[in-house]
Structure 1
Amino acid sequence: MSNAGRLEWTVPGAERVTITVEGPQVTVHAPTATVTISSEPKESVVLNGPPADTFLGNLRPEAKYITTWPGTGFTNDVMSFMNMIYLAILTERVPIMPFFAPSHIALGSSDYIPDIDFGQVFDAPRLAKSLRIPVLEWWQVKDRNSTTVEPLGCWNVWQAVSPNHYEHHPTRGSPERMNLDISWTIAPKWIKVYNDENADDEYHMKFSALMALAFPEQRSHNLGTPSTSPLLGMSLPPNEQLFCLDSMYWTSNLEAHEFEHDYSTAWRFVGKYLHWNPRIEELARVYLRGAFGLAPGAPLPHYIAIHVRRGDFADWCPRTMPVDECFAPLSAYARRVEEVREELQRARGIEVQRVVLTSDETNATWWEGVAAYGWHRIDHSTTVATHSAWHPVLIDAAIQSASIGFVGTDLSTVSLMADLRVKTWQDGEVRSVKWGKLGADDH
């Protein structure tokens, strides 16, 4: 191959033939042979076979892997998993994706809410193809019905970044559900982004530091004393083949909350390729048609989506301030919607009439105010019964992602992810509404 996509081939007794490959595959017929040339990477064999009774029995001896656990709420776990996949790229390891645990979904509910597989939420094959690396899920590695308890040594980064943490980050029972018995080793304090004494409440750690721990030199220098696993009573150092961390949400290169910045590596190298499972995308279209009063299968018009985060954000409001003064009024969102609408018209000649609002607010009077603006609302009255308790959140997020314009709530990671998806996938226009005091979003 002399250049990318070009092959020079000499047939005995014939002149040299130069073939340029413009697509992923081309077939060339010669008088005595048929040659197929493909630019697609050969799929790697990264497991010994189908889901096994033990995960160790299914890992290939020549391969190395990486995993982490859920436990920070759905959207934060999505960001944690993006960080983990980016670290997999840096360390040349195969990511093993956990399922999502209903840590936020289950709040206020007495019903049992099961976990949901990564691949039921996101298009894992499309992600692997875009990244050109294998992407596994835990159910592919270890049989869901296996009762074999296996010990595993993992890094505890949560205690390393703050002396106020007295154990590893909560994993919402995820390892236990796969009969994994974890022995934790506290990572070195130098993994922190901020190491000054006043930064004890700043939990961010550096990609480069975690990368170093995945290799023998720094691993051997920082083993420390592992904790005793709860089931088998074993003390194990971090596994060398399966690099395992309790959480990766607070991970960055330079400064905290890197997803908020335009250089975010985890977003640019991973997140932008993490598309919704096609089933979720189709449900989003179905629910949108219902909200807009369109016939089944009708084409969807351009629309602006709003995400208003309220709910638990009230805990961040000063106790002396009424919640309605702390949260931004609907008029602030309306002003931002008009800015988005005007910019879409000015820059792209797109007129947008429809606006759909998603929110965790349950107050009926507040929703009457939404209706007064003529904005649409997604009807989730039967979603849980028809699909699952996960689906209202997933459908709303897919609806936000597919909008041509988006207005979110400042400090909400749900809004942040929608903002990034709309800008990247739709080349859309976005705004964020500030809150926390009266007039916080005033221009």
Structure 2
Amino acid sequence: MKIIIIGGGIVGLSSAYFLQKEGHQVTVIDKSDISSGASFVNAGFLTPSHIIPMASPGKIAQGIKWMFDSSSPFYIRPRWDIDFFKWSWYFHRSSNRAKVEKAIPVIRDINLLSRDLFEDIKASGDLGDFQLERKGLLMLYKTEAAYEKEKKVADRLSSLGLEVADLDASELKKIEPDTEIDAKGAIHYICDGHTTPTELMPKLVAYLRRAGVDIKTNEEVLDLAVCNGQIAQVETSKGSYTADEIVLAAGSWSGILSKKLDISLPLQPGKGYRINVSRPTGISMPAILMEANMAVTPMRGFTRFAGTMEFSGINATIRKERVLAIAHGAKNYYPDLEITSEEIADARTGMRPVSPDGLPYIGKSKNIENLTFATGHAMMGWSLGPATGKLVSEIIHREKTSMDISAFAPGRRF
């Protein structure tokens, strides 16, 4: 089949990877040059441990509390936006214990599937060598309250068969001996892994081009023409295309393109920031600094400090106070670390597509016969890229999917 994938992030490229393996003629169209954005500035985590969706009890109250502090980890810029008001109401309706409990096993299963597929891709040799480590993830805490909160999650993970360890300060020092850490201890999610996105993404693009995938960059999809219940034509800033199947993997822009098809896809861009430190830090273990709500990843050639969730619409504005909050958070846990003004000035941002319930949209459109959605992964986009690509390939082939995807239905009610 001729297949067009709209979006060249990790989800779109992963979909192209599995579809071209099946012998299809695949074209990827992206509005950028595929060198920046959420797939490049994320923490690079593979996170079976992240079983709690973002829409969870207490999140709304926390968001309101932080709403007027532009340096807070979870910031909502006050604005008049009907789509955002609707999304917020759906988020509120999704933030209850029953829905969270229902989501937990689904999030675990898709994360484990994706983690295994990362391993398969590396073992295939298609992309050559790239960082893929299974050191786990440290949840560093300073307070007893943070520990007690995370311990409940850790106990739940253990009950689901995932590997978890509880480390006190002395055990933490043994596992991370080359840097000073100001923390009482850590929950160690041994089940997790990490990568370097800025290394993997160009390798994935290069492989796909060698394999015959047509990757069109700096080309924006402007419209989608529908005829007899199918997308008949994809109109871009440079031309028009036809295909048997269309995959919508446009990240935070997916909701805008869905509107052109008269499809409501509740989605909001959640902006994240990163600082790279390209000098020795002594940090060898990926970590989440719990009270600072930020991530730390030892990547190839640098250490990345990333975090924040900012709901301010689609924009590339870098708010300095948010970058400084990441730098201060890092210093608070790693007292010997000094992030320089140059490193702060080099901060970058990307927008993650967030659904109201924190689960991705993966599946066929109810209205458009040849349209498959692959978006809305929130903070798990990188982790879930390969699994989503595999599922998209199975959906298009009308095969039995590798897992139950009913929870990801694009037309689900909130």
Higher strand residue share: 2
Q: Between Structure 1 and Structure 2, whose CA radius of gyration is higher?
A: 1
Higher relative contact order at CA 8 Å, sep ≥6: structure 1 or structure 2? 2
User: Could you say which TM-score interval applies, normalised by the shorter chain?
Assistant: under 0.3
